[in-house]
Amino acid sequence: MSNNEALEKQLKDHINKNAELEKEIKKLREMNDGLVKTQVKILQNALRGDQEAAKEYVAQFEKRKSDLDGKPMLLRFSGDLGEAARLLSTLETRAAGVYYAHGDARRAEEYLRRALAIHAANREARRMLAAVYERLGNDVAAATVLEEWRRIDPDDKLPYLFLAAFYGGRRDFLRTKDVLAAAVARFPDDPIPQAMLAKFYIDTGEDPDQAAALAEKVVIAEPSAVNYELLSEAYLSCGRWDDAENALRQSREKDPNNPRLPRLESRIREGRDAAEKKPRESARH
């Protein structure tokens, strides 16, 4: 358990019985402020090439950090500026997490923006900053953070997936499709973007045949119960009733307790019945 997690647990244990909770939270924040100031000094001196001063601040940092739970933090500055930047960015992100957990989104934002200014490739800071902006109701800023993440690290599939979920949650289907299509093109051997795009086509009804083609690739890559369920849904969406039933059977063989399968089975039967009624009704007229 990390130092911050230990402190959070201590605060939660007291939340219902300790009238001094706010004082404890304030103390925690003051400790974090002191840590961050010390971290900044480490990096500033390292960037100036003053290794001795940097090491002095490392010693101060260790003392401050060990004061939190009595356990010394084994941190040694190696003189690698990239390592120093990553370290500082990571610690600022952890401090932001404490504020975010206690509902102080504005303070969390400050720490996260500093974390990214120091180390732009900090994935956790970008993910958390987008969540902070969502909590603050600033969807434009949240989308910007995720788009920047995708631009900075185009070989990481996570920003694509987070962006797709973000736009999908806001029913921005055009952007959702564009992001997922870009992810499939960028990661052609990864079944996750393919499965998400197939599900998008199924849910929107936009391209059932493409949904089936994608779901088939997903099953080949990973023949799991949930992927056969996806394939069954895809075949259902384009009226391939026999194929849908076969895929459903294979899903059930792998996971007989899936509570979604009876409803899917009913939908396949209803779809087939409706399709068979149409020619008979047309013949009457």
Which CATH number covers residue 199?
A: 1.25.40.10
Domain that includes residue 223, residue range: 189-285
In order of 39, 60, 152, 240, 247, the CA distances from 63 in angstroms are: 12, 5, 36, 67, 60
Q: Residue type at 214?
A: L
Considering the domain architecture, whether residues 113 and 193 belong to the same structural domain is answered as no
Which DSSP category does 256 fall into? T
**Is 138 within a domain?**
no
User: Is position 31 within any domain?
Assistant: yes
Assess if residue 156 is contained within a domain.
no
Looking at the domain assignment, is residue 160 inside a domain? no
Measured from the Cβ of residue 230, the count of other Cβ atoms closer than 10 Å reads 25
Q: Do 115 and 199 share a domain, yes or no?
A: no
* DSSP labels, 206-230: S-HHHHHHHHHHHHHH---HHHHHH
pLDDT at position 221: 97
Cα(87)–Cα(83) distance, rounded to whole angstroms?
6
Tokens of 199: 């599900």
44 within domain boundaries: yes
Do 23 and 106 belong to one domain?
yes
pLDDT at 47: 43
| Boundary-marking domain end, from 96, 119, 142 | 119
Angle at CA of residue 71, ends 69 and 77, nearest 5°: 120
- Rg, C-alpha atoms of the chain: 26
**Predicted local confidence at residue 280, as pLDDT:** 59
Average pLDDT for runs of 10 along the chain of length 285: 54 46 51 52 46 51 49 40 76 87 91 90 93 94 94 92 92 95 96 96 96 98 97 97 98 97 97 82 55
User: Would 177 be classed as within a structural domain?
Assistant: no
E strand or H helix at 32: helix 21-47
Backbone angles phi, psi at 225, to 5 degrees: -60, -45
Residue 85 inside a domain? The answer is: yes
| pLDDT, position 256 | 96
Last residue of a domain, one of 101, 119, 137: 119
User: Is position 203 within any domain?
Assistant: yes
Task: Say what the pLDDT of residue 278 is.
Answer: 72
Q: Could you give the number of structural domains in the chain?
A: 2
pLDDT of residue 86: 82
Final residue belonging to a domain, choices 119, 152, 176: 119
Say if residues 164 and 183 touch (Cβ distance below 8 Å): yes
Domain match, 20 and 99 both: yes
Record the pTM: 0.67
